[in-house]
Amino acid sequence: MQISAFPPENAPKLSRVCSATGRPFEPGEKIFTFLFEENGEIQRRDLCAEAFAKTRRPENALAWWSSRLPSGGEKKEKLAPNDALIDFFESLADRPEEAALRYVLALLLTRRRVLRFEREEFDAADASSRPDSVPSIVFFSPRRETSYVVPVVEMNAEEIAAVETRLLALVREPDARLKTAAPSPVVPIPTPTLEDDASF
């Protein structure tokens, strides 16, 4: 199973300089972020307001949002807004090589109560020929009134950690403190009933 097109430690993180001008961001400055696809990889671009006003949104943009650097000396982070996350989640539907990333993101959105677990289902033909076939989970978005079928991706603890690391690097924004939790051990697959509101 391919987890990503590049190692998680190389996933694009929030830049400290504007991607277009090279100017360092100032405390309290508004930042505009794009996630987009380039050469089969998901990339991130952070722009200052001046550069954003002169930049056309990439045609291959998967999600975008704005945030603001903290004005104090403390580094503060959280995840991208829910609308940006679900846009990104929807954009991964036609990218089978990103099945693991989409599955983990679906669990995150369930924790945030953006998606709701509906049911687990098996492909009838596959289930009859393969008793050990992997199920899919149907999630529902009350806000968008849309259901999503997400294949379960079986991963070991190391693979799960790699996907989580990559996801966090892609969607963190510097707008408020990210609540941290102890690293999760082996996560049973599937994990359809995440009821808590803990952040990754």
State the SS3 of 81-96: CHHHHHHHHHHCCCCH
- Quote the Cα angle for 3-40-1, to 5°: 20
Please report, for residues 130, 134, 161, 172, 198, the alpha-carbon distance to residue 11 in angstroms, rounded to integers and kept in the order given. Answer: 36, 28, 13, 11, 23
- pLDDT tens, 93-122? 989 999 999 998 998 899 888 999 998 887
Looking at residue 148, what is its pLDDT? 94
| Mean pLDDT of all residues in 124-145 | 74
CA distance between the termini of the chain: 23
- Label residue 33 by pLDDT band (50, 70, 90): confident
The answer to whether 72 and 176 have CB atoms below 8 angstroms apart is: no
- Label residue 188 by pLDDT band (50, 70, 90): very low
**Separation CA 177–CA 169 (nearest Å):** 15
Looking at residue 1, what is its pLDDT? 32
Looking at residue 80, what is its pLDDT? 84
Looking at residue 194, what is its pLDDT? 34
CA-CA-CA-CA torsion for 61, 38, 48, 68, nearest 10 degrees?
A: 70
Greater pLDDT, 88 or 191: 88
Looking at residue 72, what is its pLDDT? 64
**Separation CA 108–CA 120 (nearest Å):** 17
Lowest pLDDT segment from 1-5, 44-48, 138-142, 163-167? 1-5
Average model confidence (pLDDT) for the chain?
74
**Separation CA 176–CA 72 (nearest Å):** 12
